[in-house]
Structure 1
Amino acid sequence: MNVAVAKTGGGRAVSDLFASAEGRLPGSPAVIAARREAFEAYERLGLPHRRLEEWKYTDLRALVGEVLPLAASPDAAALKRAAEAVKAHAIEGARKLVLVDGIFAADLSDVKAFAPEVSVGTLREILANEANPAAGDLLQTASTDAVISLNAAMATDGVVVSVADGAQLAAPIQIIHVATTAGASAFTRSHLRIGKATRVTVIESFVAAGKTGGYHVNDAVILWIGDDADVAHIRLMDDAPDAVNVTSQFVTVGANVKLNFFNMTTGAAVSRLQGFITLAGEGSELLANGVNLLQKTEHGDTTLVVDHAVPNCVSREIFRAVIDDRAHSVFQGRIIVRPDAQKTDGKMMTRALLLSDEAEADNKPELEIFADDVSCGHGATAGALDDSLLFYLKARGLPEKQAQALLIQAFVGEAIEQIADDGLREHVIGIAERWLERRS
């Protein structure tokens, strides 16, 4: 029988994590009760480990050991450092919403610049409102995952964004998570409601202020997309090299929606993005792409479950991993086709490029099909750079590292090229190029 360990790696009782933070967590008495229940669920389960099928390649008990205590609210000095990080990572033309060490920073955000069709609030304000009997619902999910239960128990803040029906937003919405405190954890949970017949781009960025390191991030995003919407969702994870980032996403897609999702991981010692996407309306199209660029001993995990709950939907998944040194990349992709989801068209392909004999890639594509009139498929490959192509480039005078860089850019290009916006695509290409420069 698997039980949660009674002590953390530092000898601190697991229950102390919640007890020491409870007084700083926003919420009415009913919300605090829901938090306690969620933390008790986490205590029973403990950090996920390799005996759990969904976590067999990312054993947090071995990789992380313990959860760091809740970060303090940022002071003036922390906000100043965060402002520099925001300046460096802000997307030109985007409307920013900034979270610093898990707390919304209004002075660093562009709340007043949003279009009238967009309303912005904070999770903290809603949870603290004792007149709202449904506030605790914002901490609920259908998952029994331990890290999600921990997020529900400890979430200090997040953004709550609603885009009105019919809105056509020219400026992207960028949510920037900034870490300024070493040896601490930030817990955030954001809710985004995208109305019917809207067009919107949402960008999430995870960064560190200056040389901040040794922190943990536990983030959750609940995204609801109305019928006939056109949504681009870009996630850029560039946390400190010794940080831990676990993000859980729950996405519900209406009818006739076009959703283009892209994730790039270029930082953190340990990271996991777990996404649960439900195609709940007919005629929708999902394009999910991702790139892991990993080096040294980094561990990057992308786990994606696409649930075709209704007929006549299309999903395409393209993931690429470039792994150097002793890094480890994981891709777990599952397509579920429900009994009534006839005419489903779902395909996924993952490829890993190993730049070192010690690099490791685990690819696990899965299909669960309960309907008979479908077209589904998956594939996975792993290998090294093509020696003949490398020789060809070197024979024409290119140094080996530069020749490798050209081949790596071509390898990840198929996933990056799926980003429709030219400016965002160039921004992502720039991130990949800087990673290649650091490698050389």
Structure 2
Amino acid sequence: MNQVVKAAAGRTMDNVFAAAHGRLPGSGPVAHIRARAFEAYKRAGLPHRRIEAWKYTDLRALIGEVQPLAPQPNAAALVHARTSVKRAAVEQAVKLVLVDGIFAPELSDVGRLENGVDVRSLREVLENSADSAMAGLILSTTTDAMISLNAAMATDGLVITIAEGKAVKRPIQIVHVATGSWASNFTRSYLHLGRGAEAVVLESFVSNEGASGYQTNDATIALISEEARFSYIRLAADAADAVNISSGIIAVGARARLDLFGMICGGSVSRYQGFITLAGEGSKLSANGVNLIRHKQHVDTTIVVEHAVAHCASREKFRAVIDDCGHSVFQGRIVVRPAAQKTDATLTMRALLLSDEAGADNKPELEILADEVTCGHGSTSGALDDTFVSYLRARGLSEKEAQALLIRAFLGEAIEEIGTEDLRDFVTAQAEHWLQAR
């Protein structure tokens, strides 16, 4: 029997999907893909603790229901969003802005795109019957219910293609702005780096002042071709009572490199889940993350790395700082397939607990099906060392200053992995803002 999932104001998800139907781009094959994705979601319903991958992030208990689709942003919403974009913007970056799940070219730097960089809105692709094969690829689903729901409900997003051999000089910044309250934003983007291409993409999630209770469901599909290099940085600073569930599905080609960094410092309930496949021999992954958690925030980072072929390497390093009654979840799984001989993979997770009520669940896993591999993982949780705090206080620092200095050093181990100095400084400034607000 199918699960009937309740939505806002007593609506069922069937009603939410039906109400959104006229706003969802694409007809014919695209509409059939969406319908199948929605049926897959209905069969599963909101993830709950009896699903192993969602054991620590029970959405039925944490959010209870999916809000109806956010309305199309009007002129006033775009005016207010401009202020939020300015606040989140990285200097020199080319901005591509999504407001309440809709691409806003009037707020974006479309005219600053370099030759060899092609950007289209997801809506444009889905409504073009000649792009039906591309639409099927972009709206692909997995067994994960939230990815299926995203495929069914995505209103817009970005389709970015980097030409073969193109080294993009300026970072591309995708800015998601939520302007409304008690509504859902569904976005999905597709990135393709051609052979030997290089690009840096920064994705930011922010909200207008006054926006509250909204839910974001975002997905990114990325294909990194042979010998390409892709640096992907994700910063989530949502409103204090917002929900953000984001997914990444990334395939890395032969001798290509993916540098992934994520930081979550906002929202009430947040989860980033990455599914990364090292699909070509000699590919490399560096994945790092920082979660800054306080009050009653629940923040989950779940990364599954699949070594599908031989001679690939992955390095994962994640840090969490949890204050008040916050709860951190890190789940890292490394899968080494039988053909993936000579795999070299490590995973470390560390959580820093700043109060007695703070909690952390770290779950590293290895699934090794090959013989000649070098794999390892480690996980620790603990408080600041009182000896170090006392040492610093004896040299004139207040307790708060001493703690902040030690926290900076703790976070720096992950933040220093960001390869671009300007972006590293930008992320450091965001972390510093969180520290000063404690």
* TM-score normalised over the length of structure 2: 0.98
Deviation at 1:291, TM superposition (A): 0.2
- Provide the residue aligned with 1:211 in structure 2: 210
Q: Secondary structure at the match of 1:259?
A: strand
Deviation at 1:7, TM superposition (A): 3.1
Contact 1:25 1:154 in 2 (8 A): yes
Letter in 2 for 1:438: A
In structure 1, C-alpha distance between the alignment counterparts of 2:86 and 2:232, rounded to whole Å: 21
Contact 1:9 1:65 in 2 (8 A): no
Letter in 1 for 2:39: E
Superposed, 1:274-293 pairs within 5 Å as 274-293=273-292
Deviation at 1:14, TM superposition (A): 2.2
Deviation at 1:229, TM superposition (A): 1.3
Deviation at 1:29, TM superposition (A): 2.4
Deviations 1:38-96 (A, max 9, x none): 11111111100000000000000000000000011110100011110111111100111
- Provide the residue aligned with 1:196 in structure 2: 195
Letter in 2 for 1:230: R
Deviation at 1:303, TM superposition (A): 0.3
Deviations 1:195-253 (A, max 9, x none): 11112101000000123111000000000001111221110011111000000100000
Deviations 1:143-170 (A, max 9, x none): 1111111001100000000000111111
Superposed, 1:266-277 pairs within 5 Å as 266-277=265-276
Contact 1:4 1:47 in 2 (8 A): no
Q: Secondary structure at the match of 2:10?
A: coil
Superposed, 1:25-424 pairs within 5 Å as 25-424=24-423
Q: Secondary structure at the match of 2:437?
A: helix
Contact 2:141 2:151 in 1 (8 A): no
- Provide the residue aligned with 1:431 in structure 2: 430
Letter in 1 for 2:389: L
In structure 2, C-alpha distance between the alignment counterparts of 1:270 and 1:299, rounded to whole Å: 5
Percent sequence identity is 59
Q: Secondary structure at the match of 1:393?
A: helix
In structure 2, C-alpha distance between the alignment counterparts of 1:269 and 1:348, rounded to whole Å: 27
Letter in 1 for 2:366: L
Distance 1:230 1:131, change over 3 A: closer
Letter in 1 for 2:280: G
Letter in 2 for 1:390: V
Q: Secondary structure at the match of 1:78?
A: helix
How many pairs were matched up?
A: 438
Q: State the superposition RMSD in angstroms.
A: 1.2
Q: Secondary structure at the match of 2:33?
A: helix
* TM-score normalised over the length of structure 1: 0.98
Q: Secondary structure at the match of 1:72?
A: coil
Contact 2:320 2:352 in 1 (8 A): yes
Deviation at 1:319, TM superposition (A): 0.2
In structure 2, C-alpha distance between the alignment counterparts of 1:433 and 1:203, rounded to whole Å: 19
Deviation at 1:140, TM superposition (A): 3.4
In structure 1, C-alpha distance between the alignment counterparts of 2:305 and 2:142, rounded to whole Å: 15
Q: Which moved more, 1:29-38 or 1:393-402?
A: 29-38
Q: Secondary structure at the match of 1:372?
A: coil
Letter in 2 for 1:248: S
Q: Secondary structure at the match of 1:281?
A: coil
Contact 1:328 1:361 in 2 (8 A): yes
Deviation at 1:10, TM superposition (A): 3.2
Q: Secondary structure at the match of 1:278?
A: strand
Deviation at 1:6, TM superposition (A): 4.7
